[in-house]
Structure 1
Amino acid sequence: MLETFNSFKETYYLILSIIGSPVNLLAIVILIRGKCGLSSCTTRYLVAMATADLLVIITEVFLWRVSYYYFPRSFLDITYACRIETFLRRAATDCSVWFTVAFTFDRFVAICCLKLNGKYCTEKTAAVVLATTSILLCVKNTPHYFTQEPVEVINNVPWGCTIKPSYFNNPVWAGFDWFDTVLTPFLPFALILLLNSLTVKHILVASRVRKGLKGQNKGENQSDPEMESRRKSVILLLTISGSFILLWLVYVVHFLYYSITGSSVVEYNSALYIFSQVGNMLLNLNCCTNTFIYGVTQSMFREQVKKAVQYPFTSLFQSRHK
């Protein structure tokens, strides 16, 4: 059973790396062009999320997972490169998660806090929030570089990376580990659920009030452009954050089990090992879903994707008939 699962996992990460990179690049290019009918503020958050997801695919999936299976004993296995890669993939994953939180908060302010909307939901504010978040998360993940030590030394060259024994015994490292886990993904989980529940509640209340004012509760059927715009915004928000919650859920459940029981991976049976690995596989899949969500929920984004796909063929056709 484990051999079959490990074979599937190996193929899964290869396919994910092949699909994830172009999908996120396509989303970045289309969003930067600004022809999707989204505000400049929203576009900036979505571009940042796609960029962070692309970095996760490169560092977490390709440089770590795929290289382990298909490129053993490469220069990436030198301890110094391995330490840098550990820092990069941790920072990229944190940015991917917290950019989703930042986007959720921005939409909460835009929909529920009309007095702050004009001041907070701007392109400049988005740039400041994203830049500050990136810097803080990079600083926070710097200690991960120092948690690694060589597995072996060959001809005075350190190879491989393994966590130092002091990481498990030192109370300072234990505190850092808990802080690291609370920051990603437990606090984002709580914030996204809270902000989404408040946003949905506000939308439902506002919808009932507007229907009453417009007389729709008396049988009249009048269109409401503002509520339609809010509806599309909420659909985009809930699908992105809902996808994040679902795909990270298995990882969170596994961590809770690991923390409550005090067990370790070496004590796991095959079912628990598979469960833990499925959690990692799903959270990496989260870095490929947003582009498909944009395509399903945003008609203008979908049109831009069609044009991008058709462009090479139309260009070739036009060049042949000149």
Structure 2
Amino acid sequence: MHGPANGAFYAIYYPVLAFIGVPANLVAIIILSRGRCGLSRCITYYLVAIAVTDFLVMIVAVILNRIGGIYFRYSVLSTTPGCAVSTVLVYATRDGSVWLTVAFTFDRFVAICCQSLKTRYCTEKTAVLVIGLVSALSCAKNVPFYFTYQPLYSLDGVSWFCDIKSSYYILPAWQAYDWLDHILTPFLPFFLILLLNALTVRHILAASRTRRRLRGAESHGDPEIANRKRSIVLLFAISLSFLLLWITYVGHFLFVWITGEAYFTGLDFNDPQFILQETTNMLQLFSSCNNIFIYAVAQTKFRDELKKVLNCPFVTLTFCFKWCVIKQLGASNVLFKVAKV
């Protein structure tokens, strides 16, 4: 992801993505933090954490890494230490976002399918512990990437850009680390989200059939079944969005692994291999700015809070305008009375 993305399309796409993604995640953080969306505090903690990591992905991966690489080619981030630190931060925030989605999916799986475990696991304390653990492990797991890079060239004693050391492809330890990196993100999360959602769907369908048999003719318009359906809309929307936007990344990695071809490192940015490789990055980054739209579609109370937040600047401006008008009219009345006297 840390490679160049030259070309007019990418020069437009990434600024637009940042323009949408940064404020969208900030608004999501504000709305969810207020706790007025009708969600439990446990769910709220996970969604706020996901929004925060997505916001960091927008800052680090989109603005500093992609936009910085396109428009500010020879900035401090292009030095070898800056490039290496930027890469570690990109991967750390990416992994945090992915594994928090897995943690949220598992939490909802327990809440829906494991009633005996629900009261002990689906708590605020557990959510905070899981979020902290995922964040810490995401950072620790990607620190070794810093030591895989060497300067592409040196100029006046300054090391520029990052070139992967040949030992990364030769030493068994680095090869094992590379496989571990790809297994942990995104193969294992991809598999876990598919599995947990499949089990959740099976449990819901079985429970719904049982409830219909018990209620018989009264099953039509059953409020309990309706509540269950609404409760999983948010879970499935977030999970399916992740799966759809990451499937190209998984497919590209499998293609490289099966064919034995290397990742694109050339300078022909019209090459189909580069276009495919950069498309996976674009979709992967887009997955970090679309959750607010999922919330808005899936949650009525979130839409209501979103309207309030969006109307807030206009309400404030209207209030200030009325206050200024009233103050001006009051001052005019005073002057009129003084002049009359």
For 1:238, the aligned partner's letter is F
Alignment match, 1:241? 239
Q: TM-score, normalised by structure 1?
A: 0.94
Which whole-Å CA distance do the structure 1 matches of 2:231 and 2:271 have between them?
43
C-alpha contact 1:77 1:159 (8 A) present in aligned 2: yes
Deviation at 1:222, TM superposition (A): 5.1
Which whole-Å CA distance do the structure 1 matches of 2:124 and 2:47 have between them?
12
Gaps of 5+ in 2: 1-5, 324-341
Alignment match, 1:271? 272
Q: How do 1:38-117 residues align onto structure 2 when only pairs under 5 Å count? A: 38-117=39-118
Alignment match, 1:152? 153
Alignment match, 1:195? 196
Q: How do 1:198-209 residues align onto structure 2 when only pairs under 5 Å count? A: 198-209=199-210
C-alpha contact 1:214 1:222 (8 A) present in aligned 2: no
What do the CA deviations read for 1:228-273 (whole angstroms, capped 9, x no partner)? 2221121111110000000001111010000011112258982232
Alignment match, 2:255? 257
What do the CA deviations read for 1:100-158 (whole angstroms, capped 9, x no partner)? 00000000000000111111111110000110111112111110111111122223222
Q: Secondary structure at the match of 2:159?
A: strand
Gaps of 5+ in 1: none
Alignment match, 1:136? 137
For 1:248, the aligned partner's letter is W
Alignment match, 2:128? 127
What do the CA deviations read for 1:255-311 (whole angstroms, capped 9, x no partner)? 000001111225898223212211111111000111100000001001111110101
Alignment match, 1:284? 285
Which whole-Å CA distance do the structure 2 matches of 1:229 and 1:123 have between them?
22
Which whole-Å CA distance do the structure 2 matches of 1:152 and 1:271 have between them?
28
Alignment match, 2:337? none
C-alpha contact 2:150 2:164 (8 A) present in aligned 1: yes
C-alpha contact 2:88 2:146 (8 A) present in aligned 1: yes
C-alpha contact 1:254 1:276 (8 A) present in aligned 2: yes
Q: Percent identity?
A: 50
Alignment match, 2:339? none
For 1:275, the aligned partner's letter is L
C-alpha contact 1:207 1:227 (8 A) present in aligned 2: yes
For 2:191, the aligned partner's letter is A
Which whole-Å CA distance do the structure 2 matches of 1:24 and 1:260 have between them?
37
Deviation at 1:86, TM superposition (A): 1.0
C-alpha contact 1:44 1:127 (8 A) present in aligned 2: yes
Tell which deviates more after alignment, 263-272 or 68-77: 263-272
What do the CA deviations read for 1:7-56 (whole angstroms, capped 9, x no partner)? 21221111111111110010001000000000000000000111111111
Following TM superposition, the consecutive aligned residue runs of length 4 or more in structure 1 with deviations greater than 4 angstroms are: 266-269
Which whole-Å CA distance do the structure 2 matches of 1:213 and 1:181 have between them?
47
Alignment match, 2:336? none
Which whole-Å CA distance do the structure 1 matches of 2:249 and 2:169 have between them?
20
Deviation at 1:66, TM superposition (A): 0.4
Tell which deviates more after alignment, 310-319 or 262-271: 262-271
C-alpha contact 2:212 2:219 (8 A) present in aligned 1: no
Tell which deviates more after alignment, 264-273 or 201-210: 264-273
Q: Secondary structure at the match of 1:57?
A: helix
Q: Which structure: larger Rg?
A: 2
Alignment match, 1:321? 322
For 2:277, the aligned partner's letter is S
Q: Secondary structure at the match of 1:72?
A: coil
Tell which deviates more after alignment, 150-159 or 102-111: 150-159
Q: Secondary structure at the match of 2:7?
A: helix
Which whole-Å CA distance do the structure 2 matches of 1:190 and 1:183 have between them?
10
Which whole-Å CA distance do the structure 2 matches of 1:69 and 1:272 have between them?
20
For 1:19, the aligned partner's letter is I
Q: Secondary structure at the match of 1:287?
A: coil
Which whole-Å CA distance do the structure 2 matches of 1:315 and 1:77 have between them?
42
C-alpha contact 1:61 1:284 (8 A) present in aligned 2: yes
What do the CA deviations read for 1:45-99 (whole angstroms, capped 9, x no partner)? 0001111111111111111110011112111112222221111111000001000
After superposition, the CA RMSD in angstroms is 1.7
Aligned length: 316
Q: Secondary structure at the match of 2:27?
A: helix
Which whole-Å CA distance do the structure 2 matches of 1:142 and 1:68 have between them?
21
Which whole-Å CA distance do the structure 1 matches of 2:278 and 2:43 have between them?
33
